[in-house]
A and B are shown apart, each in its own frame.
Chain A
Amino acid sequence: MKIKGKPNKIYRVNSNSVLCSKSQFSKLKEGGTVDVGDDAAEQLLNMGVVNKVKTTTKKEAK
């Protein structure tokens, strides 16, 4: 699942307690978007420190 960090919120979270990797967490702290497993995404979404990124699929050109 793709999620985007909220820099003004996520800095309070202990990086040792999250289910995503250190590098993914660092990117989220900077407000970036990462693709993580559902468990890791749900954990951070429940904490209110990330947003879910809506993904749109391109229609195949006819």
Chain B
Amino acid sequence: MADTRVVPVSSIKYGLKAETAFGVALDSSGADGTAYLTQPVVQAQKPTFNILRESRLLSGRGSVKNAADTVTNTRGGTISMPFEMLATPRTLAQHCLLVGQENGQSGSIVHEMEIDGSSNANSMGEAIGGDGLPHSCNLAYYPGAASEGIRVAGVICSDLTIAGDVAANNGMVSISGNYFSGFSNPVSTSTTTEVDFTVANWAAAETTYFNVLDCDTRTLDADDRTTLTFIMKSFTFNISNGVNRVGFDTNGNAEVYVFPEYAVTGSLVVKYDNQFSYLATNNVIQDFLDGDTLSLNIICGDSAPDAEGEMEINAEIQYTGDPGQDLSESGVFHTLEFECVKNGSTNAFDISTFKNEAVTAW
């Protein structure tokens, strides 16, 4: 008789916990008792093992492949996993760190991640420092039953999208992207399957979010004028680091990750008005035609971040296409596609968030 077990989608969850040694399991003593931080997703996607498989139809085998002529190799592969969730103070700060490999802390505690072309790691593979940098995680995928878990080691983000839209998710800011690991060969001390997670130890997901409607400060340069306040419909920032795995240890897992280029692109939808128009001195089209670099500042909150649910984004942007139009009953809005560039000594992109926890607590 067939089995009647059903696995509700919501019974699946996953968690992250910062590694203390690159690509090494935090607890490989048996059942994994690590206190993973549950991620606030609606649907947890499964990690995908991208391993090597060779399949050839050899001469003399007739007209069908033979079972003996295929080879699979878990060494030298990668693991990827998409994610999407509402941003919370910790998840936003940690995922920015996982993609940008940079973190500065001040006060109690504002986390700043900047993309400046020099602070961001070009590679990682050495031991994790006492400050939790560079930053990689153990990822625990728990399908709702004991001993069916998957633990992925050496996890970072290959790309991250931060998005806010007054008309989506009730205005709450979301993050999405992909996790990446170069530890594809299952061994008990690293990535492995059939793990018995002690889920009672896991920390619950956070419940404080960011809301676009809290963005009290929204300024952008336009043509000859600077720091003009805009009325925003939505924003998106996409950060990617182009990660590649390099080398292989005795288990065939990655020795090094390399980050060849940190690219930040995005889009902004702002209202067509007297500040942002086609008029001389405020002409957004002229900004595109002239290749102007413009300063963008968005603060979610009533001040620089000093409480949960607040963040600040600064970016130096250049339009990558002719400013389009978003036509709706709300009037005409500009759709501004851009990329972030380092402008003199000013960072291409930086984001500050408040979370009163050290990186090492993640």
A contact set with B: CB distance below 8 Å: 6, 8-9, 12-14, 16-17, 46-49
Contacts and interface: CB of A to CB of B under 8 A. Distances in A.
B116 interface: no
B302 A14 contact: no
A12 B300 CA distance: 12
B170 to A, nearest CB: 13
Interface of B: 207-209, 211, 214, 301-302, 306-310, 354, 356
Contacts of A6: 307
A13 B208 CA distance: 6
A12 to B, nearest CB: 4
A41 to B, nearest CB: 13
A12 B309 contact: yes
Which 7 residue pairs across A and B have the least CB separation, nearest first? A48-B307, A12-B309, A9-B307, A47-B308, A17-B207, A46-B356, A14-B207
Contacts of B307: 6, 9, 12, 47-49
Given A47-B308, A48-B308, A49-B307, A14 B208 contact: yes
Contacts, number: 36
A35 B78 CA distance: 53
B302 A12 contact: no
Nearest to A14: B207
Given A6-B307, A47-B307, A12 B209 contact: yes
A19 to B, nearest CB: 13
B304 to A, nearest CB: 11
Contacts of A8: 302
A9 B354 CA distance: 12
A49 B211 CA distance: 16
Nearest to B210: A12
A48 B354 contact: yes
A48 B306 contact: yes
Contacts of A14: 207-208
A19 B308 CA distance: 16
Nearest to B209: A12
A59 B309 CA distance: 41
A48 B356 contact: yes
Contacts of B208: 12-14, 17, 47
Contacts of B306: 9, 48
Nearest to B211: A12
A13 B308 contact: yes
